[in-house]
Structure formats: structure tokens, C-alpha cells
Structure 1
Amino acid sequence: MPLTTATDARTTEAVSTAVLNLLLPHHRTTGDRSAPAGAFPHQLRQIGGYVRRNQPVVFTLPGFPCKSPNPAKVLGHLPDQGERLSLAFLDSLCAGIGEIHAPGARVVICSDGHVFGDLVRVPDEHVDAYSDALSRLISELRLDHLSVFDLRDVLGDLPHPAKRAWVQDRYAPGLDTLHSEVRTDERTLALYRGITRFLLDDTADFTGTRSALQRECRRRAYDVIQRSRAWGALVAEHHPRSVRLSIHPQPAGAPKFGIRLLDAPDAWTTPWHSTALRRADGTWRLLPRAEAAGLGRLVTRDGRPSHFEQGPGGPV
């Protein structure tokens, strides 16, 4: 092997490892959080492809769909301080990568609210308002490393139910396949249980019994996973070389890298299922609105509720 080729290979490996090391402190996982960069071969290979071509590293992050419909968890249906902090974090991560890899990096936020809106009981107009507000935040805060991608970029002004049907028919796996996976695969079972719990927690107006709600949420959880797989396949088709991030916990070595956006009580909490609390020491934490309200005072921004803030000496 020529010396220059060997040197280039070593440089690519070193830069790719350094980039991944920036992500590792924010790994969202239910397993070992001390895994080294070498335990993530998928991500090293994908990052290395961009490094070799001297191109910006592109990350895709399905998420930021819409706010939970449960008012005990969130402040409203529009982005607030939780999203603002999370977007700023992602942009700063890209800026940090730029100090290691000169072309830098960017994150494409694949906002999937319309994919799931009917399943999580959120009106499509609220999904549109949330996604549009995300784009405005990115522009207003000058987060130049971020962009938003949603079904409107793929299917334009087609009615939302038709968009969902198109995605499901074209990309979704069969329910029989998912039922089998939940029975036999531990990770799929954990995902199914986590989504079922979220659906239960997000339901604020169910009039039947608790057991009936549990049955309905278990059924809907399969639909959510089905459409999540479909959305992931669509995103991969449109961004085929991207490094796939996930807001769900992922073990070391998985094809997707789970990323934690803000401090939270567990590995599943997201800004759109919670409210931001600024603690007395200046740090931030995501909590359900009802819990955050008991710890601090409500702060408004631009005439809308933004977050809660503790006073000096308040509980942390």
C-alpha cells in the first residue's frame, strides 16, 4: 500500500473517532454509557465516508413531531424552551465537529408529526404549526447547521391522511412481522413497552376504563412502530449516506445512535413530552409540566409560556 494511502486511512480513522467522541457523552442508551468509539462501527464507517470525501458530516434525526396532547406534560402545542435548548445543543455539536473536521457537520431534523398525528391524537394543524415554528426558531437563533425535513418536502400539499396512507403502503413492514419481533427481540419489546407507556401518559381525555385504554394503547403502539419504520425507510431513501441519530435509547453497536438532547429523569423523555425547568444552579432539566410547576415559577416569552424557573435555594 502506498505511504500516502496508509496515511490518509489513519487520518480518516483518527478524525472519525474524534468526531464520534464528541457525541459519546450524549449517548441515549439504557445500557453501558462508557462504551468507547470502537464499539460503534456503523457510525465510524459512515462518518469516515464524509471525512474521506472532505464533506460536511450529515446527521438525520427523526423526531420533533409535535407536542404531547396531555396538558399535564407540556405548556401548549408550540415549541418552547425545551425545543429552543435542544436545537441550540444540536447546532453547537455541529460547530464542535467543525473544529475537528473543517467542512463541519449539519443535522437534518426529520419532523415526523404528520406520520403519527392521528395515532397520538394531535390535529394536523397543530403539527404544521409546530414544524413551522421549529423552522422559525432555527432562523431566528441563526442555527445555521440545522434544517427541517417533513412530509411536505416529499408529497407537497397532498391531504394529510393521503400522505400517511402513501408512506404506510410504500414503506411499512407488516404487523405480523412486528408481532413476531416483539415476541422474540428484546430491543423491539423494550421499544413497544416504551411507546405504550407514552401513549398511556399522553392520553388526557379517555372516557373508558383503564384496562380498555391499555388495550387501545397496546394496539396503537404497533401502529406507531410500523409507521416509525416506514418513516425511517423514507428518510434513508432521501438521505442515503447520513449518520442516523435517534431520540430512542440505542445500545452500542446499533445502526442508529441514540442521542440525549437535555437532562431528564429517564432515557425516554423528550422536549415534546415535557417542560423545561431551569434549576437554581442554572442547569436545565426536562420534567412533566405538573411536576415542574411544583418546583418553580412559570416564565413567558413572546407572550407564550416558555418554561419554569426555580428561585435561589429551591429544590433541585
Structure 2
Amino acid sequence: MPDSPEDQILRLLFSSRRIAGSTTDPCAQQPCDECFAIHRPKVERFMAQGVPLHFVIPAFPAKSPNRKKVLGTLPDLGERLSLEFLQSFCDYVCHHYEPGAKITICSDGHVFSDLVGVDDQDVTAYRAELELLLRAIGSDSINTYGLENAFQSTDYTEQREQLTNRYARPVEEIRERALQDPAARSIFGGIHRFLFEDQFAVSEGRSRNTVREEAKLRAYRVVQRSDAWSALVEAFFPEALRLSIHPQAAHSQKIGIHMMRTRDNWLTPWHGVALDEGDGVRLVKREEAERLGATLVMRGGRPSHFIAPPASHKSRLLLQEAVR
């Protein structure tokens, strides 16, 4: 029996899933009935109303402060390609359901900027450039939502306090959950790794163990705020399907997705750079692109992405075809 339109849409989405432990989970290769069953009711509700499916994704916070990973503080080709992927997904949904889909990017940069070493002004500038990119690609299916949209205060410190007071759980509970729940432990481990890498890069003269322990304490608070933001998003958009840029268990209420090709299950455009390899673009850390001898490309007077050195006759032929 062919898939229903609902399952066709979910299968399309699952083709880009980030699954925690995907090397061993059979659902990574072939979604099972339970994979569909968790999300199908929400899809059906939108279709019964004849309105676009609505997805929310906490993402696009700000560039990492670690210049071994990224090109600067503003969006580049990585963000542009990721936004185009999200828009294309909405377009493809129309094949199966004419009203299509909408995606709200719940930008979480101000939620934990003080914990990850990013200035609030850089977060604001990043989001403003993101809006310009959405207009540049002609997106009509994506909108953004941020901490400043949720609270009346114009002070980001006060907004973070309101978020924590209303939606956060105690850090002790976050720590205990990470110890007991493999999925929560995976999320904590990924965030801890990012924080350690970013802090160690700017901690000259300090030991790895010292920086690692400090990063662990901050990681619990980042998870606490991230969970609080997720709870706020759930309260503001209760009917929406939940997407995530973190790897998720196959049968989670959230669907982890890759917006770009990458070999790192955790890498995102704001923790990496776009590397054009001739036959496609891959997301890598900046230091990896430079180690390969890739060439930096400037667009509009700003760093955009890297081009990998021609490694084979095939890549040169592809380039020749591209310029004909």
C-alpha cells in the first residue's frame, strides 16, 4: 500500500534526520511505524483544517566565538544554504499537500549568549543579517521569533531572567536527568563539547582539565535555558511540529534534522563553514578547511565559504561543466 500524504511528508522530512546513535538505530535507515505515529496526528490536524503545516525550530542563534570553527560573526554561505534547504522543504511539501508548510525559526541566541561568550549586539546583528538572507532567497515560508518577541522588556538580561523564572527547571534536576537518561546525556555531552572547544580556544595558558570543568558547569546552565526556551516555544506554538538541530532519539517528540551535508552529527552552520568540494557543499570546521588547503571565497566584501583544492580529475570536469 502506498504511503498516505501525511506519511509521504514525514518520509521527506526524515530523509534529513539527525538521529542520536544513528549507527546502530535501524530507524536511521528505514523509519518504522512508530516514527510516523508520533508526528502523524499533528500533520493530520493541519490537513483537516486545510492550512499550511507549521514547524518550529530553535536554531540560528549566532556564530560561535571560536575562530577555529567559523569565519566571523555574521551569517555566510552555510546559513544561506540552510535557509534555502528549509524553504525547499516547504516547497516540496506542496507535492503532497497543496497548502504546503511554514517554518518558524525560534532564534535562541539571546537565550544563552552570556553563557557561550557571545555579545548580545553580535546576536542582534546576526539575526538582522538572517532576515536579509531570507529576503534575498525570496523565502515566503519562513519567519523568525526571538526572546524579544516573547517578553515586553527591551533588556536582554531581564528577558533571560523572566525566561528562567517562568520556564526553567533547577540545575540539579538537569544534572540528574543527564545521569539517568541516555538521550539527555547525549544532548549534554554535545553542548559540553561545543563549550569546551570554544572556551579552550580563547583560554591561553590554562589547562584543558580546568577549562573542561568550567565548561561542564556552564553546559548544565545552557541546557537549563535551552529547555526553558523549548518549553516557551511549546507554550506559544502548541500545535506546531517540533524540529531540532540536535540529534534526537528516533521516537522523540522532536525531529532532529540536518540542513547541510556533514560528517559530524552535531555540526551546524554557526559552528562551522561551508566547503565547496566541486561535487557538493559540505559543512566542516574552519580549521579543517584550512588544513586541506582550501581557498577562502569573499562575497560582498565578507568571507563566505571555502573552495576545496581540486583533488581529482572528476572535480575539475565538474567545474568545467559548471562554467559552460
Q: TM-score, normalised by structure 1?
A: 0.93
Q: Which residue of 1 aligns with 2:321?
A: none
Mapped pair 1:67 → 2:57: no
* Inter-partner Cα distance in structure 1 for 2:264 and 2:78: 16
Unpaired segments of 5 or more residues in structure 2? Answer: 316-324
Determine if contact 2:153/2:159 at 8 Å carries over to the other structure: no
Query: What is the deviation of 1:42?
Result: 2.2
* Inter-partner Cα distance in structure 2 for 1:189 and 1:209: 25
Determine if contact 1:60/1:243 at 8 Å carries over to the other structure: yes
Q: Which residue of 1 aligns with 2:29?
A: 34
* Inter-partner Cα distance in structure 1 for 2:312 and 2:270: 25
Q: Which residue of 2 aligns with 1:83?
A: 79
Unpaired segments of 5 or more residues in structure 1? Answer: 1-9
Q: Which residue of 1 aligns with 2:177?
A: 181
Q: Which residue of 1 aligns with 2:112?
A: 116
Mapping for residues 12-31 of structure 1, pairs under 5 Å: 14-29=4-19, 30-31=21-22
Amino acid at match of 1:20: L
Mapped pair 1:236 → 2:242: no
Mapped pair 1:291 → 2:291: no
State, as a whole percentage, how many aligned pairs show the same letter.
Answer: 39
Amino acid at match of 1:16: E
Query: What is the deviation of 1:157?
Result: 5.1
Mapped pair 1:162 → 2:158: yes
Amino acid at match of 2:145: F
* Inter-partner Cα distance in structure 2 for 1:35 and 1:115: 35
Query: What is the deviation of 1:155?
Result: 2.2
* Inter-partner Cα distance in structure 2 for 1:170 and 1:309: 46
User: What secondary structure does 2:246 align onto?
Assistant: coil
Query: What is the deviation of 1:37?
Result: 5.5
Q: Which moved more, 1:62-71 or 1:287-296?
A: 287-296
User: What secondary structure does 1:211 align onto?
Assistant: helix
Determine if contact 1:20/1:37 at 8 Å carries over to the other structure: no
Mapped pair 1:149 → 2:145: yes
* Inter-partner Cα distance in structure 2 for 1:37 and 1:105: 23
Determine if contact 2:18/2:247 at 8 Å carries over to the other structure: yes
* Inter-partner Cα distance in structure 1 for 2:272 and 2:69: 5
1:215 to 190, 213, 216: 213
Query: What is the deviation of 1:156?
Result: 4.6
Q: Which residue of 1 aligns with 2:319?
A: none
Determine if contact 1:63/1:110 at 8 Å carries over to the other structure: yes
2:257 to 256, 259, 273: 259
Determine if contact 1:297/1:309 at 8 Å carries over to the other structure: yes
2:270 to 264, 269, 272: 272
* Inter-partner Cα distance in structure 1 for 2:306 and 2:152: 37
Query: What is the deviation of 1:314?
Result: 5.6
1:93 to 89, 92, 101: 89
Q: CA RMSD in A?
A: 1.8
Report the count of equivalent residues: 305
* Inter-partner Cα distance in structure 1 for 2:175 and 2:148: 31
* Inter-partner Cα distance in structure 2 for 1:37 and 1:306: 39
User: What secondary structure does 1:119 align onto?
Assistant: helix
Q: Which residue of 1 aligns with 2:300?
A: 302
Determine if contact 1:264/1:285 at 8 Å carries over to the other structure: yes
1:169–1:157 CA distance, 2 compared to 1 (3 A):
closer
Mapped pair 1:51 → 2:47: yes
Q: Which moved more, 1:295-304 or 1:85-94?
A: 295-304
